[in-house]
Structure formats: structure tokens, C-alpha cells
Amino acid sequence: MTRTPTVLFVCVHNAGRSQMAAGFLSHLAGDTVEVRSAGSAPADSINSAAVEAMAELGIDISAQSPKILTPDAVETSDVVITMGCGDACPVFPGVSYRDWALPDPAGKGVEAVRPIRDRIKVLVEDLIAELVPVQTGSSL
């Protein structure tokens, strides 16, 4: 049996981009991937436009809350995906790092968040294809 890969999404506030990415990965990959998210300077609450944009696609992230980025969360993840947090993310050997250059949805309305959401969905689908081996008879 292969081990479940762990993915950590990191952005500054852990209120928009990383929460949408985590929502997509949880929704699309189910229990084939362990999903985490965190922020280098977490906001007090999730971006309401991000919640609304995800709800339009039937994914509810409203119960999530921004979490602080810890060295342990990074070290115990297989893949760390940063989204504009710069050098705030600690680097550990054996962890795969990726940077997704995405605009920050903070302070923007849902119309401006939709294209960011749609780009995140494509990136997450590509990530799933890379991390989750296709199995015969799989309906993923």
C-alpha cells in the first residue's frame, strides 16, 4: 500500500488562494491526498468573496479558518505550494516546493476572484494528476 501524499498550501493570509486550493484538492482528490493550508500572517477570517466563488462550484469552504504557518507543517508535508508568501516559508530537505504565481484576492469582489479560482482549479487538477497514480477502474 502506498502512503498518502501530504500537500500544504501557503499564502500570506490563508484566507483566499490557499483556502480555495485546499478546497479544490479535498473535493477533487478525496482521501487520496492529505490537504493542509496555512498562512505566514493569517487573517482573522476567510475571504468572503473566495467562499462565494467556491460555493458557485458546489464547494463549501465557509467552515475553514486561517491557520499560522509552522515549521512542523512544512517539514511533515510532501509538497508545499506557496502563493505569494515569498521567503516566509521554511525550507526542509526532502520536501518538494512549488510556487504558484497568483494574484491576491484580498479586498476584491467575487467577479475578480472567479478567474483566480478557475486558475487554481486547473493547477490543482494538474497536481492531482501528478500525485495520484491512475488506477484501473478509478472514477477520479
Q: Which sequence positions are flagged as catalytic?
A: 11, 85, 89
Name the H helices within the chain: 17-29, 48-55, 71-75, 110-131
Q: Which residues contact 69 (CB under 8 A, 6 or more apart)?
A: 10, 14, 38, 39, 40, 42, 85, 88, 89
Question: Could you tell me whether strands 34-39 and 6-11 are parallel, antiparallel, or unpaired per DSSP bridges?
Answer: parallel
Neighbours of 20 (CB within 10 A): 34
Alpha carbon distance 91, 87 (integer Å): 9
